[in-house]
Amino acid sequence: MKHFLVVFLSLLVSSVFAYIDEYANLGEQASSIKASGKVFHESPSIIRKMHPELLRHKRDKTLRKGIRTNNYSLKGCVSCHANKNKTNNQYYSVDKKGQFCSDCHKKVGVSFDCFSCHRTTLREGLL
């Protein structure tokens, strides 16, 4: 019985910690926005849940109707959530291990195919 209790308690504790590292690697600009207290995403949980749908909706609008606003554009995501390598001043690819996109996707075990075509880094001098 004691063993079960230990297992149960450790699961409980680890689940708490699993939520803590949720924002492990937010990306350079996104973390500075968060630190400044500004609200960029009204509800992060909606973004977390719905971002595939939002991106899909946006891509059709952009490609087929020519509406090139920044709202929910993949370019917009990458520009905020990319990290810079301080030593060589280059941006890491967002789909590289430990970076914003792959971090979460790996955790939930969902593969994503955006970056076989889309640029993974921020173009220098864009922001």
Chain positions contacting another protein, by CB under 8 A = 56, 59, 61, 63-70, 75, 116-121, 123, 126
115 within 8 A of 94, measured Cβ to Cβ: yes
Nearer to another protein, 57 or 107 (CB): 57
Amino acid residing at 91 = Y
Nearer to another protein, 87 or 116 (CB): 116
- Tell me how far, at minimum, the Cβ of 97 lies from another protein, in Å: 16
The span from the CA of 67 to the CA of 40, in Å, is 21
Strands (E), 1-127: 84-85, 90-91
- Tell me how far, at minimum, the Cβ of 77 lies from another protein, in Å: 12
Nearer to another protein, 34 or 96 (CB): 96
Question: What burial class does residue 4 get, using C-beta atoms within 10 Å of its C-beta: 0-12 exposed, 13-18 middle, 19+ buried?
Answer: exposed
- Tell me how far, at minimum, the Cβ of 94 lies from another protein, in Å: 13
